[in-house]
């Protein structure tokens, strides 16, 4: 059974590109453009990795991280934050909220591909 | 040791001087008077005795019987101040005596008599009473009598001296009169001294009290009570009075100076407080501006990164996927193309906004017909509206002159309608209306001749709490994901353009019902500009 990756970003083109990259590697990909839906899918589908944007309307990525890590069912999921916020304070905040990894936009699909393989194979 | 005041010192000084003087004068006068009185009594007794001898020698020598002698002695005793009289013959036998004192003893010699036939001595009786005793010889010759008389008495001629007389003067009586006089003198002197001391106390107090009060007042002034004054002695016409008046003048001057100084000081303090507050406010403002700038920078970088992320991601995907389906590849290239346009639009919008905000953009302000601008906008936006099935309706029947920059006004109207087209669902309607208005809008309410532009749609509407924020830079509301094609600066730029025209822009929206955007433009050039405009249009003509 292929591993599952959940991608959450409010920018449709970025969401599509990340989804495309991960899907091409043979993993199951779930995509959503908002935090609430991401939480719902995480509980329902138990993905192995979540690639999460931070700046989103309504529920932002850090809030999603906190909720995922505070619930026993979703605590084990590996969270890669993928954000355009590149400042040190932003990174620290995301780690405090429970992110496992921090990547900044623009990202390189090659590196992302490599990283996903390392994590899931 | 207790401190002595000036008053006490001056009183002691004058008292001791006066007492010393009084005592000296009294003592001197008493001793002088005693001597005078003494002399007077002595001489009187001497004279009386001599007179007596002269008057009675003959009788004494001739008769010599005791009865006669007693009678004669009694006569002498009757005279003033004479206490006793004793007659002795040449052999020292007592012949007669009046009021004789017992056990007389010699104490010492007393004043010299007037000649060698008389001399004085001081004696004391058994009771201790003292007497001055005059002893005078009684003789036929040398008494001033005719010497022939001596020859008349045969026996007497051989022995011219008959005997002697002793006359006692009561020393006590003498002393009593002297003492009475002495007492009078002393009492008089004492009264005078007391009177003098009293006067000196009065005068000293009159002089010293103001000085003491000044000392106290100076102490009060030193402690900060500058309203303190001296009210005693300021009417004196002497140096103390001058001192008091000058002291009071000085205190008044000090008080005035301090009041002035306090006033200046409080004003200065007030000023410093104001300045400090101004500086703090300026500093706060600078900080806010700095914060805004840094927020803006981070927002801009975020906004630029977003299209850049897509561009990079799809470019790399295309590069790494040689076997990509041609349709997918084309789609990805289109995305790259669109995101590139978005980025360049973002950059030009940013520059545009920055120029308007900093006041460096140039404006071509003229009177123009708003209808023409609206017509152009309609032509530009009609295809995209038609594509979404949105009906555009422009209710503009007659010419509507306004004062402004036509290109910028066109930009505002385009933004508003394009927003409507973007956010409204398929089949919605967008209407544009014009009307005259007498104020600039609900916020500033500047009275004047304005034209109000209304753009109304029946789209999803805007949440009430977002009403104001939509005019902020990069504010993109609770969007539904698919509409991130704009720069997020359209309404911010529109607002700046309208403000530049001295108009206002605002909105009215009900979620689920629709949104109305309004903005106003002046119908005519402001009065200050009119003359200029007329002049320039004439030149052109």
**What ipTM was assigned to the predicted interfaces of this complex?**
0.93
**B247 and B230 Cβ atoms separated by less than 8 Å:** yes
Range A53-75 average pLDDT? 90
The average confidence (pLDDT) of chain B is 84
Maximal C-alpha separation, chain B: 211
Domain co-membership, B298 together with B379 = no
pLDDT at residue B1 in the model: 39
pLDDT band of B519, cuts 50, 70, 90: very high
Is residue B239 included in any domain, yes or no?
A: no
Indicate whether B288 pLDDT > 60. Answer: yes
Chosen domain end from B167, B186, B205: B186
Structural domains in chain B (count) = 3
Q: Around Cβ B83, how many Cβ atoms within 10 Å?
A: 21
B310 CB within 8 Å of a chain A CB: yes
* Cβ–Cβ gap B317/A110 under 8 Å: no
Chosen domain end from B339, B361, B383: B361
Rounded to 5°, the CA angle A111-A107-B474 comes to 170
Is residue B230 included in any domain, yes or no?
A: no
Cross-strand partners of B509: B515
Domain co-membership, B370 together with B504 = yes
The whole-angstrom distance between A56's CA and the closest CA on chain B is: 9
Is residue B234 included in any domain, yes or no?
A: no
Q: Which residues of A touch B476 (CB under 8 A)?
A: 57
B239-320 helix and A12-24 helix, angle to the nearest 10 degrees: 40
Question: Strand (E) positions, B473-513?
Answer: 505-510
pTM (predicted TM-score): 0.55
Nearest neighbour of B312 by CB, restricted to A20, A24, A106: A106
* Cβ–Cβ gap A106/B482 under 8 Å: no
B335-381 per-position pLDDT tens digit: 999 999 989 988 998 898 889 888 888 899 999 999 999 999 999 99
Place of tokens 């001399």: B119
Nearest chain B residue (CA) to A110: B316
**Domain boundaries defined on chain A:** 4-120
Chosen domain end from B305, B337, B361: B361
Domain co-membership, B432 together with B446 = yes
* Cβ–Cβ gap A17/B313 under 8 Å: yes
B314 CB within 8 Å of a chain A CB: yes
Q: Please tell me what DSSP assigns to residue B229.
A: -
* Cβ–Cβ gap A13/B339 under 8 Å: yes
Nearest chain B residue (CA) to A105: B309
Cross-strand partners of B450: B437, B522
B326-358 helix and A12-24 helix, angle to the nearest 10 degrees: 150
Give percent above pLDDT 90 in chain B: 31
Nearest neighbour of A58 by CB, restricted to B305, B478, B482: B478
pLDDT at residue B495 in the model: 93
A88-97 helix and A61-70 helix, angle to the nearest 10 degrees: 30
pLDDT at residue B104 in the model: 78
| Contacts for B148-151: CB closer than 8 Å, 24+ residues apart | B149/B58
The span from the CA of A3 to the CA of A47, in Å, is 7
Domain co-membership, B495 together with B386 = yes
| Site from A12, A17, A82 to mutate, B interface, most B CB atoms within 10 angstroms | A17
Question: Strand (E) positions, B250-405?
Answer: 366-369, 391-395, 401-404
pLDDT band of B313, cuts 50, 70, 90: very high
* Cβ–Cβ gap B317/A55 under 8 Å: no
Domain co-membership, B379 together with B528 = yes
Domain co-membership, B51 together with B173 = yes
Domain co-membership, B311 together with B412 = no
Q: Dihedral (C-alpha) B169, B172, B178, B184: value to the nearest 10 degrees? A: -150
Nearest neighbour of B310 by CB, restricted to A17, A85, A108: A17
**B468 and B297 Cβ atoms separated by less than 8 Å:** no
**B145 and B58 Cβ atoms separated by less than 8 Å:** yes
B264-277 per-position pLDDT tens digit: 999 999 999 999 99
What are the C-alpha distances in Å from A70 to residues A49, B223, B271? 16, 72, 57
pLDDT band of B160, cuts 50, 70, 90: low
Is residue B444 included in any domain, yes or no?
A: yes
Domain A4-120 has CATH 3.10.20.30: no
* Cβ–Cβ gap B305/A105 under 8 Å: yes
The span from the CA of B98 to the CA of B76, in Å, is 9
Between B467 and B145, the higher pLDDT residue:
B467
Is residue B266 included in any domain, yes or no?
A: yes
Q: Which residues of B touch A17 (CB under 8 A)?
A: 310, 313-314, 317
Is residue B499 included in any domain, yes or no?
A: yes
Residue-number span of the structural domain to which B514 is assigned: 364-540
Is residue B96 included in any domain, yes or no?
A: yes
Domain co-membership, B376 together with B320 = no
Q: Around Cβ B320, how many Cβ atoms within 10 Å?
A: 13
* Continuous segment of H or E residues that includes residue A83: strand A78-83
* Cβ–Cβ gap B309/A84 under 8 Å: yes
**B519 and B498 Cβ atoms separated by less than 8 Å:** yes
Indicate whether A1 pLDDT > 70. Answer: yes
Domain co-membership, B271 together with B417 = no
pLDDT at residue B107 in the model: 76
pLDDT band of B540, cuts 50, 70, 90: low
B412-441 per-position pLDDT tens digit: 999 999 989 988 899 999 999 999 999 988
Range A87-101 average pLDDT? 92
At B169, list the tokens.
């003067």
pLDDT band of B204, cuts 50, 70, 90: confident
Nearest neighbour of B302 by CB, restricted to A18, A24, A84: A84
pLDDT band of B196, cuts 50, 70, 90: confident
Q: Is B195 helix (H, G, I), strand (E, B) or coil?
A: helix
Between B63 and B243, the higher pLDDT residue:
B243
Range B378-400 average pLDDT? 90
Q: Around Cβ B360, how many Cβ atoms within 10 Å?
A: 8
Nearest neighbour of A13 by CB, restricted to B310, B478, B479: B310
Nearest chain A residue (CA) to B298: A85
B298 CB within 8 Å of a chain A CB: yes
Q: Which residues of B touch A33 (CB under 8 A)?
A: 481
The span from the CA of B66 to the CA of B72, in Å, is 10
| Site from B303, B313, B328, B469 to mutate, A interface, most A CB atoms within 10 angstroms | B313
Domain co-membership, B449 together with B504 = yes
Indicate whether B480 pLDDT > 50. Answer: no
Domain co-membership, B24 together with B162 = yes
pLDDT at residue B530 in the model: 58
The span from the CA of B290 to the CA of B353, in Å, is 18
Q: How far is CA B408 from the centre of its chain?
A: 66
CA proximity to B59, closest of B87, B22, B23 = B87
CA proximity to A81, closest of A4, A19, A5, A8 = A8
The span from the CA of A43 to the CA of B18, in Å, is 123
Q: What is the DSSP string of B501-533?
A: TT--EEEEEETTTEEEEEEEEESS--HHHHHHH
What are the C-alpha distances in Å from A49 to residues A24, A31, A99, A106, B245? 16, 12, 11, 20, 100
Indicate whether B493 pLDDT > 60. Answer: yes
Domain co-membership, B475 together with B516 = yes
Is residue B437 included in any domain, yes or no?
A: yes
């Amino acid at each position: 059974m292929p591993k599952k990756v959940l991608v959450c970003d409010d920018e449709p083109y970025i969401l599509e590109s990340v989804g495309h990259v991960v899907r091409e590697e043979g993993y199951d990909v779930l995509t959503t453009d908002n935090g609430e839906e991401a939480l719902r899918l995480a509980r329902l589908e138990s993905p192995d990795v979540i690639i999460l944007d931070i700046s989103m309307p309504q529920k932002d990525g850090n809030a999603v991280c906190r909720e995922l890590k505070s619930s026993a069912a979703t605590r084990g999921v590996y969270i890669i934050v993928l954000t355009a916020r590149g400042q040190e304070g932003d990174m620290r905040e995301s780690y405090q909220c429970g992110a496992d990894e921090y990547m900044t936009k623009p990202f390189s699909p090659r590196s992302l591909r490599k990283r996903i393989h390392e994590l899931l194979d | 040791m207790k401190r002595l005041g000036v008053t006490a010192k001056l009183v002691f000084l004058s008292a001791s001087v006066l007492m010393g003087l009084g005592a000296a004068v009294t003592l001197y006068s008493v001793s002088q008077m005693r001597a005078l009185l003494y002399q007077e009594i002595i001489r009187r007794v001497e004279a009386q005795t001599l007179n007596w001898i002269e008057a009675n020698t003959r009788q004494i020598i001739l008769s010599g019987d005791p009865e006669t002698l007693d009678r004669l002695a009694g006569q002498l005793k009757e005279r003033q101040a004479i206490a006793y009289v004793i007659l002795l013959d040449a052999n020292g036998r007592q012949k007669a005596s009046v009021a004789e004192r017992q056990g007389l003893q010699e104490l010492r010699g007393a004043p010299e008599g007037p000649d060698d036939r008389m001399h004085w001595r001081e004696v004391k009786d058994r009771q201790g009473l003292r007497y001055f005793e005059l002893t005078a010889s009684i003789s036929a010759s040398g008494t001033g009598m005719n010497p022939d008389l001596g020859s008349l008495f045969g026996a007497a001629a051989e022995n011219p001296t008959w005997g002697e007389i002793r006359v006692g003067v009561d020393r006590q009586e003498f002393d009593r009169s002297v003492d009475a006089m002495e007492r009078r003198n002393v009492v008089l002197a004492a009264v005078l001294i007391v009177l003098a001391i009293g006067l000196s106390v009065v005068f000293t107090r009159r002089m010293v009290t103001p000085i003491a009060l000044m000392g106290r007042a100076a102490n009060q002034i030193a402690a900060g009570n500058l309203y303190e004054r001296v009210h005693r002695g300021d009417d004196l016409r002497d140096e103390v009075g001058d001192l008091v008046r000058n002291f009071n003048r000085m205190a008044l001057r000090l008080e005035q100076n301090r009041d002035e100084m306090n006033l200046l000081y409080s004003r200065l303090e007030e000023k410093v407080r104001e300045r400090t507050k101004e500086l703090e406010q300026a500093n706060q403002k600078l900080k806010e501006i700095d914060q805004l700038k840094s927020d803006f920078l981070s927002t801009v970088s975020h906004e630029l990164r977003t299209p850049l992320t897509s561009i990079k991601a799809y470019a790399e995907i295309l590069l790494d996927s040689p076997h990509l389906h041609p349709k997918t590849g084309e789609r990805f290239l289109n995305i790259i193309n669109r995101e590139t346009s978005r980025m360049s639009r973002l950059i030009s919008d940013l520059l545009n906004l920055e120029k308007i905000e900093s006041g460096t953009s140039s404006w071509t302000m003229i009177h123009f017909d708003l209808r023409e601008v609206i017509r152009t906008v309609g032509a530009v936006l009609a295809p995209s509206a038609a594509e979404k099935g949105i009906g555009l309706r422009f209710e503009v029947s007659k010419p509507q002159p306004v004062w402004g920059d036509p290109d910028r006004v066109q930009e505002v109207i385009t933004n508003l309608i394009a927003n409507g087209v973007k956010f409204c669902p398929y089949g919605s309607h967008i209407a544009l209306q014009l009307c005259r208005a007498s104020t600039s809008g609900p916020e500033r309410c500047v009275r004047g001749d304005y034209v109000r532009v209304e753009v109304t749609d029946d789209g999803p509407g805007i949440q009430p709490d977002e009403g104001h924020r939509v005019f902020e830079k990069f504010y993109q509301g609770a969007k539904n994901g698919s509409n991130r094609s704009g720069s997020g600066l359209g309404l911010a730029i529109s607002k700046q353009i309208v403000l530049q025209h001295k108009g206002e822009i605002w909105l009215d929206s009900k979620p689920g019902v629709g949104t109305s955007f309004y903005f106003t433009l002046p119908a005519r050039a402001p009065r200050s500009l009119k003359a200029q405009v007329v002049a320039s249009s004439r030149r052109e003509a």
